[in-house]
Amino acid sequence: MNRTGKLLTGLGLAGGVIALALGFRRDRPAREVESRRSGAPSRFVTVNGVRTHYRDQGQGPVLVLLHGSNASLHTWDGWVDALSSHYRVITMDVPGQGTTGPDPWNRYTHDDEVAWLDALVRQLGLERFTLGGNSMGGGISWRYALHHPKKVERLILVDAYGLRRDEKLPIYLRLYKVPGVRHVVRWYTPRFMVRRAVAATYGDPRRITEETVDLYEDILLREGNREATWRRLAIDEDDSLEERLREIQVPTLILWGSRDEWILPNYAEKFHANIPDSRLVVFEGLGHVPMEEDPTTTVAVVQDFLRDTAPAHTGRLTSAYAQRQLDP
């Protein structure tokens, strides 16, 4: 290799090292992130030893909503705006995420999450409510419905997690399961990677704003959250509870984005086939977080579902919104 070639190679390696170094990010102080992301009407309550960030808005029948992995209660803002005039809507940051921050005892198993949710609703004095969740939050929701059937009045699953997967997790999540590598990933989170992860959850990435990326970056870098992420994702658990889905007897609304690349739409069909009183709506063009990407369209279907209180009504929900009915 001539001198010019060696120089270019050296510059390339140096540039790579610099780029890698710039991608390593320090944690942001909890108080700093909290001051930006936990303004009114936010509240905090200690649940099973975890100082938990939540919001309790509106009056009427109670609706409890759980966000997905590495998201926050802000993912439901559009729904809350539309629903809180007729419902009491409670949203929260799950332990290890948002401004709740990590669990001091690293309790992140499915049973731990269900126990934490039950402790929260008991502290809030909730006896019976509609429970909904997106992705990870959907997984907590249907498990909670199995463990506490008398408390759940209705169930809303939005691109829900928790069924046995036929394909591998996205590479970004698989890295958290690799010893050694996961400790590097814990610190290496450049902004472009945050943006790419958010874009992968939208059916149309053009909908993503800089404010959205700022929010996801803020809550990811909140001190302790990246550590909690690898601890949570490194847990391998038995998924056999899905064999009990038929025990869920409450009206269940299953919402899915047709362009969900994280949890493919075929899992929506599996939920629908196994939950007896379920209705399935697939939104054309939306991704893994349809309630965040297009709150107006998605919440309209939810409002129809909540108004329909007759337990004998089963089958697929029909309406005039931008959606696809999945008929046999």
Domain chopping of the chain, boundaries: 30-307
**pTM for the whole structure:** 0.86
Q: Specify the CATH number of the domain 30-307.
A: 3.40.50.1820
pLDDT at 180: 65
On whether the CB atoms of residues 223 and 29 are closer than 8 A, the answer is: yes
Strands 252-257 and 152-158: parallel
Q: C-alpha distances in angstroms, 188 versus 11, 98, 181, 219?
A: 22, 19, 10, 15
Rounded Cα–Cα distance for residues 278 and 157 (Å): 10
Specify the pLDDT at position 10. 43
Q: Is 207 exposed, middle or buried (0-12, 13-18, 19+ CB in 10 A)?
A: middle
What DSSP state is assigned to residue 81? H
Q: What is the pLDDT of residue 48?
A: 94
Q: Determine the pLDDT at residue 308.
A: 87
Instruction: Please list the residues that pair with 310 across neighbouring strands.
Output: none
pLDDT of residue 166: 74
8 A C-beta contact, residue 162 and residue 142: yes
SS (H, E, C) 84-104: CCCCEEEEECCCCECCCECCC
Give the per-residue pLDDT at 24. 76
H or E element, residue 43: strand 42-47
What's residue 316's pLDDT? 39
Q: How far apart are CA 305 and CA 159, in angstroms?
A: 17
User: Smallest Cα–Cα separation from 257: which of 229, 234, 291, 232?
Assistant: 291
Instruction: Tell me, rounded to whole angstroms, the distance of Cα 22 from its chain centroid.
Output: 28
Q: Please state, in angstroms and rounded to a whole number, the distance separating the CA atoms of residues 226 and 122.
A: 29
C-alpha angle 220/187/72, rounded to 5°? 10
Query: pLDDT value at position 183?
Result: 64
Residues 192, 27 contacting (CB under 8 angstroms): no
The confidence score (pLDDT) of residue 179 equals 67
Residue 215 has a pLDDT of 97
Regions of the chain with pLDDT less than 50: 5-22, 310-322, 324-328
- What pLDDT sits at residue 149? 97
What's the CA gap between 258 and 265, in Å, rounded? 6
Q: Which amino acid, residue 175?
A: L
Residue 47, strand partner residues: 50
Contact 233, 139 (CB under 8 A): no
- For 297, the token pair is 């369209």
Distances (CA, A) of 41 to 57, 61, 68, 112, 292: 8, 19, 21, 27, 19
Residues in contact with 80: Cβ distance below 8 Å, sequence separation at least 6, in sequence order: 55, 57, 58, 89, 91
Q: Which pLDDT does position 90 carry in this prediction? A: 98
